[in-house]
Structure 1
């Protein structure tokens, strides 16, 4: 195993990025650089990370010199970027990473495992994976299913006590908390199988019906269930009128969050129970 000392995190003050940045800082083994997009702006999360020992580096991702200065001396580049331009930005970072001898690139997967052709919104991820594999740079792909903190996006409405099933109620959905995804990312540097490979982890792997049961137990009430069979049918059969972009992506994403085999046993910690996140979601909704 290579010895890594300096970690650069692109998008390290975002929703997941902040947890990943914190996890690397808490580990205490690494120098952590957080890449933020120019121009410089006041950011509470960035200030908190600086107070914990991180260095904030502002970059224009379209300027090669900025990227060279930001990535020089970096051992591991972690990208937690999102948006329509992510493929182009990651491609530019990859070119520079090779030039300045970055040892490993962890791209912005963090979710379901998608292949080319699954959806227009995820095709760029699949395309970049192939680019990275061909680059000669070490890589690790991390798949963790859906974020537990976003179970509301998956159809669970705590305020209304309603569950909308966009896929079959017996479909297994893997979910992981943001804090655990961060821990898996840090520990992946010490897992031999992660070198030039994919890591598949989950904090919970339950059916939609089982997640609903946990929400009902936590709220002490029976929830209304809405089965959006029409959206599901039109998505699966590609029948017009197709679902809205949001619903179309939701069905696709939920259909790609289960894994045949998990790598949880390769890590030193046990992920937090999904009931803890569910209780937090309920508390936030009150």
Structure 2
């Protein structure tokens, strides 16, 4: 292996939330990576994993971000911001480019975004296009839906029922958060740059239709068909948007917007890059 093909050693993670915490603690640090955690300035105490460096910086402060990336010789920037904060990523990418960062992992961790023409998936797709235009290599990770968020998606906890909008017959990908974090940590610390640059990874814990998920719940949450979530369900419009996307097949990691179809063989096609790993099932994670 040539010097240019040595694995990356210094990684910056933007955020310390759902994906970031296990990515850093159980993934990157465990694989001997040097980790810089960047959070927004906040009066709240941040729980930063032991062994990681920390910098509190406004995500839109290009100069401060550039200085931090240079100080820690950052090679890879991993963004874990949620869908409501995607607009900060261009500034972070600008700083990464100025600091000589070699790889940017945008905040995806969901449905395949490439080629979509509306909504949050369009925002994600355009951002990757901007990375390409800037000459900053990307690696994006498609995971479908988080297994842990199934109760949220179908409003099970609020209603005691498994609420399905539409037919609920399209196969979707569901992946455990620990598997998402573990996979990303593994490939970033084990694969050479040539296998990481400008690549879309497609992983899959389990492939199920919403109706198959409802069958796993059985009497614990009887299936009901609805057209709208009741007013008592918070974020009902957003949950409906997600279910509509699921019904269209978008939630499978085998889906390709350019083709307009799902390919079961493509779903989870990157799983093999984490050899020997046992992917968690829905029943296992949700104790069904």
1:202 matched residue in structure 2: 204
**Which residue does the alignment assign to 2:108?**
109
Is the Cα–Cα contact under 8 Å of residues 28 and 185 in structure 2 kept in the other structure?
no
> More deviation in 104-113 or 33-42?
33-42
Structure showing greater relative contact order (alpha-carbon pairs closer than 8 Å, 6 or more residues apart) = 2
* Cα gap change, 1:278 to 1:194, in 2 (>3 Å): same
Aligned to 2:273: 266
Q: Which residue of 2 aligns with 1:22?
A: 25
2:263 is the alignment partner of 1:257: no
Q: Which residue of 1 aligns with 2:257?
A: none
Partner of 1:134: 133
Is 1:8 matched with 2:15? no
2-structure distance, mates of 1:117, 1:28 = 35
Aligned to 1:182: 181
Alignment correspondent of 1:123: 122
Q: Which moved more, 1:131-140 or 1:184-193?
A: 184-193
1:161 and 1:53 mapped to 2: Cα distance? 42
Task: Determine the C-alpha separation between the residues in 2 that align with 1:164 and 1:205.
Answer: 19
Label 1:23 to 1:135 Cα distance change in 2 as closer, same or farther (>3 A): farther
State which of 272, 278, 285 in structure 2 corresponds to 1:277: 285
Backbone CA RMSD of aligned residues: 2.4
SS at 1:121 equivalent: helix
Extract unaligned runs of 5+ from structure 2: 230-234, 255-262
CA distance in 2, matches of 1:253, 1:17: 25
**Do 2:164 and 2:224's aligned partners in 1 also have CA atoms closer than 8 Å?**
yes
Residues in 2 aligned to 1:177 and 1:205: alpha-carbon distance in whole angstroms: 12
TM-score, scaled relative to structure 1:
0.82
Q: Find the counterpart in structure 1 of residue 258 from structure 2.
A: none
TM-superposed CA distance for 1:205, in Å, is 0.6
Deviation at 1:231, TM superposition (A): 5.2
Distance 1:227 1:119 in 2: 26
- What's 2:80 paired with? 80
Structure 1 residue 39 displacement after superposition = 3.6
| 2:224 corresponding residue in structure 1 | 226
Instruction: Judge conservation of contact 2:143–2:202 (CA < 8 Å) in 1.
Output: yes
Q: What is the CA-CA distance between 1:114 and the residue it aligns to?
A: 2.4
Count of residue pairs the alignment pairs up: 258
Deviation of 1:181 after TM superposition, in Å, equals: 0.4
Residues 61, 223 of structure 1: alpha-carbon distance in 2 compared, 3 angstrom cutoff? closer
